[in-house]
Structure 1
Amino acid sequence: MNDFDLTIRGGMVASDVDTFRADVGIVGDRIVAMENGLPAGRRDIDATGRYVLPGGIDTHCHVEQRSGMGRMGADDWYTASVCAAFGGTTTIVPFAAQHRGTSLAQVAADYAALAREKSVIDYSYHLILSETDPQTLNTDLPELIRSGITSFKVYMTYEQLKIDDYQMLDVLAVAARERALVMVHAENNDVIKWVSQRLLERGYTAPKFHGTSHVQLAESEATHRVIQLSRLFDVPILVVHVSAREALATIQAAQKMGAQVYGETCPHYLLLTEDDMDLPGTEGAKYCCSPPLRDADAQQALWDALKQGTLQTLSSDHAPYRYDATGKLPKGDATTFKDVANGMPGLEARLPLLFSEGVSKKRLTLPEFVALSATNHARMYGLFPRKGLLQPGADADVAIWNPLCEFTLTAATLHDNVGYTPYEGMSVTGWPETVVSAGRVIVERGELHAERGSGRFIPRKTPMPCAIERELTPSTRFFRSLSYGAHEQK
């Protein structure tokens, strides 16, 4: 009798650099052996003809979160974690959102309690920062970072959440001191506000004008501005949901100059276009997100950026607002593009879409898929080496993919609580048939085998970009020193 609780044998394993044949031996919640010819465990899975890949990590999704406009998303921690699992994702990192006038510490505690009660897979969370008062910046934020919440997000748009450049410098200074990763929603709020007001005055109210109002230069200008602000302290930032060629060019140029800027995009920017918002009545509201969908040229630029490494991660930006008065249509048929809740569901479809459009269509290699779906997320956000790769000592988070399985995406076959999918009727090739989370087989033959609240909170280490030792220039050291109180200066 051998010592393995679970073995996965006969499959093709992939890392972020290569593919190889190996059996996987699991004891408890960890991988303990990876080699050919392992004996069967107490439970044995035959993975012949399958890809054995690290469970996906989604580091940008909105779960049981109230938007700045006050609307609650349709998915709570239970439904979101279930649909993630069915899509091959075994770790999610959504957001504990601080709204104006609330305590960041209390927001984090309340959010942690919801996750602990409901999630069926492992999780962490980021913070969303909307206040920069002394309590938030000097006490709550540093303490939360030290507790394992080592990343947070700030907005340059949305009146209810945005911070200005002065506040951004305060935030970046804290990140530099505490070695935390700052995620940035980069759009110029005043450009969007100016264009939106004039569109509405002239009667241009349909959902398709959401794209017009969020003009590309609003994204590229804000991206450029926050990169320059980050250079004052030489602190890493990650620009989320990059959608446009101009913003990409800005990031590429900054990277060549040595700026510590990273980027992320999402499946909807790779597969949908602004034409999807141009539908009868309010139907186009289903496709409104920020930044908005762009055009075919932007799609190609994003695929190229993923291939070239300009963008490091692909996340869902799952924002599950229902197509009714609770979400997309607060004013019914009279809803204008400014009233529509921004965002689309996509947590379950993220990896099948990337696999089908990337690997199956030969835009990406299998190792590149692994990097974009899991490994880069783990490194970027302090989960590595516990998560993100299949190797002895790592958590036993495994997705067993049938690369030939054809599946049609429909709202009826997905597991979220939204009621529609922007990918309705789209056929994908490749599907995660069996999913293992922390050594537990939680999805098999289309059925869930995981209890509510069985997922674990994973405290995160210093994100990889923030752990890299860099020689600071004298001016950078000086400006960093200005961010300390007099008693802290050395």
Structure 2
Amino acid sequence: MTIFIRGGTIVTAEGRQRGDVLCAGGRIAAVGDGLEVPTGAAIVDAGGMLVMPGGIDPHTHMEMPFMGSVSSDDFFTGTAAGLAGGTTSIIDFVIPDAGGSMIEAFEAWRGRAEKAAADYGFHVAVTDWSERVRDEMTELTRRGVSSFKHFMAYKGALMVDDGVLLHSIGHALSLGALCSVHAENGDAVAHLQKALLARGITGPKGHPLSRPPEVEGEAATRAIALARVMGAPLYVVHVSTRQAAEAIAAARMSGQRVFGEVLAQHLVIDDSVYDSDDFAYAAGHVMSPPFRPKAHQAALWAGLASGQLQTTASDHCCFCASQKAQGAEDFTRIPNGTAGIEDRMGVLWHHGVGGGHLTAEEFVAVTSANTARIFGLYPRKGTIQPGADADIVVWDPYASRTVSARTHHQNIDFSVYEGMELTGLARSTIAAGRLVWHDGTLRAERGAGRYLKRSLHAPITGMGTGLGDNA
């Protein structure tokens, strides 16, 4: 399919220009002002609108088995919803069982993802350490995996200790892969959960009380220190607190290579949502890390604006009200997760660009380009230039919509953004050269998404021991 995007303002992380974009064979064929329209090309009129790289969501959990349930969006419905919001690629998470094969888990997730409507890659979680884990990490890099995830939370399930972190970070460094961490002190969380339940605090309000900002700040600081010891880069997912943001900024100012990710919902929603007497409403907001006191939002916006935090994600892991209800008598049994892949771009445009925190170029950086660079997808993704994938969003910066679970495309009966009015939306989305969203009509194709093999980085040394695989 040949698509000609005519007369928009092309915006990348580097700058903007007026011009046209020609897409052919799934790639961007030409960019320039006054390009000739090929015979038979479908024309997308971008007059008065912005033409930007499609969003890349680096943190999703489609049809993930978790806490006795399975997240309600599968790879088709979840990626299709992303297309409606301007997101054209995701990086999801493979979660092996402790002691299980990473390769077998990877193949299982590949099978689930065959139905995806948009391109996808995988981070793979390290849940324990052994010679098999070492060997399977190596094999996974040959299969296009360039990043590995570690949970410092969820004691008794996914949580790893510092010894596992050190082994994994060191081996990943030798491979040129990047390690990421979910930074919450799992021992502290488990201790607080037990104490709260003993006091009779069983409802959703117990969730943020059991995960105060300090447990995130401590874990982020510790993970950064361990990465520094190994001389390795580190990526901290879903930074939600001033403490964690400051730890990342301090490390970067000292010369350490640390990256930080922010969720759109943490930027605009605070912990008052847990005060509701409506269980379904409060439980609908249960995610980890939880929503924080509003004061933390300023630090997150400042981190994005200054470049100390580099990416934004949705952590899309949605559970319907009936699934959340399994924790009606015990907040520790409420499946953790919220939806947001469809709304990430709109929330960030309205509150980020519209709120004066970000320029349009910085919006592209934090929604697409930085993720592509950090995770081995650039310049195939994250930019608009000849040869890049034709993943493009035509963005109307003046159109408005009201977010609601009644009208979104995500497979969930709840929205943490319910009733939020947003200015700025995807008018057209092009994925791999296909027009998949246009003027409110979704044309997602089941199975059209491609697996993304991501490139590795040269091992980075110079900070810490740099021992890598010899540690």
Short-chain TM bin? over 0.9
Report Cα offsets for 1:365-421 as digits up to 9, x if no partner: 000000001000100100001000001110010100111111000001111111110
**Separation (CA, whole Å) in 2 of partners of 1:133 and 1:405:** 53
**Separation (CA, whole Å) in 1 of partners of 2:366 and 2:292:** 21
**Residues 204, 450 of structure 1: CA spacing in aligned structure 2 closer, same or farther, 3 A cutoff?**
closer
2:302 pairs with 1:329: no
2:470 pairs with 1:482: yes
2:300 pairs with 1:311: no
Correspondence for 1:233 among 226, 230, 233: 230
1:387-406 matches, within 5 Å, as 387-406=381-400
Shift of 1:363: 1.9
Shift of 1:468: 6.9
The percent identity for this pair of structures is 37
> Contact (CA 8 Å) 1:98, 1:131: kept in 2 or not?
no
**Residues 30, 206 of structure 1: CA spacing in aligned structure 2 closer, same or farther, 3 A cutoff?**
same
2:199 pairs with 1:215: no
| Matched position secondary structure for 1:259 | coil
2:148 pairs with 1:152: yes
Name the counterpart of 2:270.
Answer: 273
Shift of 1:272: 0.5
**Separation (CA, whole Å) in 1 of partners of 2:470 and 2:123:** 27
**Separation (CA, whole Å) in 2 of partners of 1:204 and 1:458:** 45
Name the counterpart of 1:408.
Answer: 402
Report Cα offsets for 1:207-236 as digits up to 9, x if no partner: 122111101111111111111111122111
The one-letter code sitting in structure 1 at the alignment partner of 2:455 is: K
2:136 pairs with 1:140: yes
Correspondence for 1:373 among 363, 367, 374: 367
| Matched position secondary structure for 1:467 | coil
| Matched position secondary structure for 1:31 | strand
**Residues 481, 152 of structure 1: CA spacing in aligned structure 2 closer, same or farther, 3 A cutoff?**
closer
> Contact (CA 8 Å) 2:61, 2:316: kept in 1 or not?
yes
Name the counterpart of 2:23.
Answer: 26
Name the counterpart of 1:74.
Answer: 72
2:423 pairs with 1:429: yes
1:165-244 matches, within 5 Å, as 165-244=162-241
> Contact (CA 8 Å) 1:26, 1:33: kept in 2 or not?
yes
The one-letter code sitting in structure 2 at the alignment partner of 1:7 is: F
**Separation (CA, whole Å) in 1 of partners of 2:363 and 2:278:** 38
**Separation (CA, whole Å) in 2 of partners of 1:146 and 1:468:** 16
Correspondence for 1:90 among 88, 91, 103: 88
> Contact (CA 8 Å) 1:206, 1:281: kept in 2 or not?
no
Report Cα offsets for 1:250-298 as digits up to 9, x if no partner: 1111111112211001011101001011111413111111111112210
> Contact (CA 8 Å) 2:6, 2:47: kept in 1 or not?
yes
Name the counterpart of 2:434.
Answer: 440
**Separation (CA, whole Å) in 2 of partners of 1:362 and 1:250:** 25
**Separation (CA, whole Å) in 2 of partners of 1:147 and 1:426:** 41
Name the counterpart of 2:376.
Answer: 382
Shift of 1:114: 1.6
The one-letter code sitting in structure 1 at the alignment partner of 2:54 is: G
| Matched position secondary structure for 1:44 | strand
**Separation (CA, whole Å) in 2 of partners of 1:25 and 1:372:** 25
Name the counterpart of 2:51.
Answer: 52
| Matched position secondary structure for 1:166 | helix
**Separation (CA, whole Å) in 2 of partners of 1:239 and 1:82:** 27
**Separation (CA, whole Å) in 1 of partners of 2:101 and 2:333:** 27
> Contact (CA 8 Å) 1:234, 1:260: kept in 2 or not?
no
Shift of 1:356: 0.9
**Separation (CA, whole Å) in 2 of partners of 1:274 and 1:481:** 42
> Contact (CA 8 Å) 2:4, 2:21: kept in 1 or not?
yes
Report Cα offsets for 1:310-354 as digits up to 9, x if no partner: 110000011111111xx21214x42x2211111111110100100
2:458 pairs with 1:467: yes
> Contact (CA 8 Å) 1:208, 1:274: kept in 2 or not?
no
**Residues 86, 213 of structure 1: CA spacing in aligned structure 2 closer, same or farther, 3 A cutoff?**
same
**Residues 378, 50 of structure 1: CA spacing in aligned structure 2 closer, same or farther, 3 A cutoff?**
same
> Contact (CA 8 Å) 2:173, 2:459: kept in 1 or not?
no
Name the counterpart of 1:488.
Answer: none
**Separation (CA, whole Å) in 2 of partners of 1:30 and 1:405:** 28
**Separation (CA, whole Å) in 1 of partners of 2:239 and 2:225:** 17
Report Cα offsets for 1:164-195 as digits up to 9, x if no partner: 01111111111111111111001111111222
**Runs of 5+ unmatched residues, structure 1:** 484-490
Shift of 1:105: 0.5
| Matched position secondary structure for 2:449 | coil
> Contact (CA 8 Å) 1:407, 1:427: kept in 2 or not?
yes
**Separation (CA, whole Å) in 2 of partners of 1:209 and 1:55:** 38
Give the count of matched residue pairs: 467
Shift of 1:196: 1.5
**Separation (CA, whole Å) in 1 of partners of 2:172 and 2:278:** 45
The one-letter code sitting in structure 2 at the alignment partner of 1:330 is: Q
